Amino acid sequence: NKVWDKTVDVIVVGSGAGALTAALRSHDLGMRVLVVEKSDVYGGTSAISGGGIWIPDNHQISQLGGEDSEEKSISYLKNIIGHDPGDGRIEAFVGNAKKMLKYLENNTRVRYESQPAYADYYPEVEGGLPGYRSMDPLPFDARELGDEFEKLRPTTKATLMLGRMSMDMKQARVMLTRSPGFLPTTLKVMWRYWSDLPWRFKSSRDRLLMLGNALVGALRASMMDRNIPLWLSSPMKNLITENDTVIGIEVEKDGKTLRLKAQKGVILATGGFEQNQAMREQYLPQPSHTSWSGTPAGQNTGDGITAGMALGAEVAYMEHAWWAPSTLPPGEVQSQILFVERALPGSMMVNSAGKRFCNEAAPYNDIGYDMYRADQEEGVTAAPCWFVFDARFRNRYPCGPLLPGYAAPDSRLPDHLKKDDYYFRENTLEALAEKIGVDKEGLLNTVREYNANAQKGIDPEFNKGKSLFDRYYGDPTSPSSPCNAPLEKGPFYAIKVNAGDIGTKGGLRTDVHARVLDRQGQAIPGLYATGNTSASPMVQTYPGAGATLGPAMTFGYLAANHIKNDM
Ligand code: FAD
């Protein structure tokens, strides 16, 4: 009978969106909750994400004139996975995601808006939709957080205009792709930021939170409404069991090890293992490095997964990640994900043979698989590969940390992004190939063949721009087509692209209630997992924007429901 330092009903480990949803739901079902977070800020990757959630058959779809059903969504998911995983989690997700959202909207400060034009990632597959299922958080006023705003993980510069001003997804897209309305949108964002005078004197951080900061900010403020405690700088070290039941955790806090009792359950939401180099080497395809990930450096080191494994939990899909090609600017420890640039015209990705190997505008998750597949070819390197573009592209569009040339010409780029440290520029393709060590003939042939078709706006080799999804991030004003244009105007540019990720995907195997299963398929009493700590129900695929947070929040909600019903 060892002494407990604190006793509650539910302990939630981690403070991403799945964790905080689980905490709110547990509280609202009448349970005492404690959230413990390893970092000195809360929100995890969820806070720096787009905050989008993929909610099939959500209640806003019909209001917006769209149509969806559970059957359609389930069939889409099984079609893109390629089989029925058979564990019922697809059905559990589709049936409950919309309930989770309704619960949040009816009871908390979280608000979402369905995006009718944001296509599923495979809209042409049976059951896919041209929009609606991806939902974005509404902006959230940081004043609602009071002093807790200081402890919200700040969003990354990449999602802010000029590194300061918040943009929502629609504004970001208009600006990045130079879609119609580009100038008024830019001015509107700048005006809103600079005219917010009282706040400007207080902080350079934008008061209007968008994307993942809006989501986590709204969740945290809703926790404050309920006085749900959140301990920062309190990493979980171990799970505590009694008679094979999880009854608590050990955390480190203020230099001490504390024993925390969870009378009803522990929900692990410590993210994946993308920041753990040893685990990356053990499980993921190689080469692979923590710094290629777009997630916060040093945080998600697989702690929940290893703690579960130590109790005999089964893991699945450990070789998968939510892949996303990334670029690592000099001096940075965290990569920037190339979400948009690949779809813009006048660019291509090539391997060391100077050849294209994929549809560059495809969903980012596919590009990761493509890079590793192409890297298998004898004598060829595709992980990393090169993103090559011409002067017209450079002038019009951003690329990683490079602002478009019209806003930041080469001569005015910050020192750490100077030519040859980060990006390469040469007057001819031959010279560029030599500089980056790519086969010269290969690159010249590739560009020649691609250009001949791109002039007509087509890409017979990889069908770039054919899917509705490809065109979402294309430039609708491009004369040839939104995604394809010849690379013909020198100088020519290249940046190195790594096989990055936005989190790993494998983890503890869970059931329809988010219970962690052991190697015999039996639930480990008292132990639940959600988000990237659990093996994703999506297996290897990525159905649409928001397909990591949507399930993380849904299974967090379901974990709380099950703990309550099990009481
Ligand atoms: P996290 O949100 O990372 O939370 C895990 C938390 O656990 C962290 O705060 C961590 O510090 C903490 N922790 C770790 N170990 C311990 C421990 N031992 N004890 C206590 N706490 C611990 N997905 C979408 O669905 N939609 C999007 O729009 C989207 N946009 C993205 C944009 C970017 C740039 C990136 C990088 C990712 C994006 N993603 C998006 C992916 C998504 O953000 C992640 O998959 C998701 O946040 C993972 O949630 P999680 O709860 O598993 O982990």
In the predicted structure, residue 257 carries a pLDDT above the cut 80:
yes
Q: Are 429 and 447 in contact (CB under 8 A)?
A: yes
Q: Is the CB of 544 under 6 A from ligand 1?
A: no
Which pLDDT score is estimated for 159?
79
Q: Is the CB of 240 under 6 A from ligand 1?
A: no
Q: Is the CB of 548 under 6 A from ligand 1?
A: yes
**Can you give the C-alpha Rg of the chain in angstroms?**
23
In the predicted structure, residue 216 carries a pLDDT above the cut 80:
yes
pLDDT, mean of residues 206-233: 97
Cα(315)–Cα(506) distance, integer angstroms? 7
Q: Is the CB of 49 under 6 A from ligand 1?
A: yes
Q: Give the CATH class of 326-499.
A: alpha beta
- The full set of domain ranges for the chain reads 156-209, 326-499
Residue to mutate, 549, 553, 557, ligand 1, most ligand atoms under 8 Å from C-beta: 549
Average pLDDT, the chain: 95
Which pLDDT score is estimated for 188?
87
Q: Is the CB of 551 under 6 A from ligand 1?
A: no
Q: Which DSSP string do the residues of 44-71 spell out, in sequence order?
A: HHHHHS---EE-TT-THHHHTT----HH
pLDDT, mean of residues 416-445: 94
Q: Calculate ∠ Cα 85-91-106, nearest 5°.
A: 145
Q: Is the CB of 14 under 6 A from ligand 1?
A: yes
Q: Are 559 and 514 in contact (CB under 8 A)?
A: yes
Q: Is the CB of 269 under 6 A from ligand 1?
A: yes
* pLDDT tens digits along 351-407: 999 999 999 999 999 999 999 999 999 999 999 999 999 999 999 999 999 999 998
Cα(377)–Cα(375) distance, integer angstroms? 5
In the predicted structure, residue 567 carries a pLDDT above the cut 70:
no
- What is the position in ligand 1's atom list of the atom closest to the CA of 19? 51
Tokens of 430: 């031959």
* Residues counted in the chain: 567
Confidence of residue 349 (pLDDT cuts 50, 70, 90): very high
Cα(255)–Cα(171) distance, integer angstroms? 45
> How far from 16 is each of 12, 36, 102, 436, CA to CA, in Å?
10, 11, 19, 39
In the reported structure, the alpha carbon of residue 45 is separated from the centroid of ligand 1 by a whole-number distance in angstroms of 3
ipTM of this complex: 1.00
Confidence of residue 119 (pLDDT cuts 50, 70, 90): very high
Residue to mutate, 45, 211, 231, 233, ligand 1, most ligand atoms under 8 Å from C-beta: 45
- What is the position in ligand 1's atom list of the atom closest to the CA of 39? 11
Which pLDDT score is estimated for 326?
98
Residue to mutate, 502, 504, 553, ligand 1, most ligand atoms under 8 Å from C-beta: 502
In the predicted structure, residue 115 carries a pLDDT above the cut 90:
yes
Cα(77)–Cα(118) distance, integer angstroms? 17
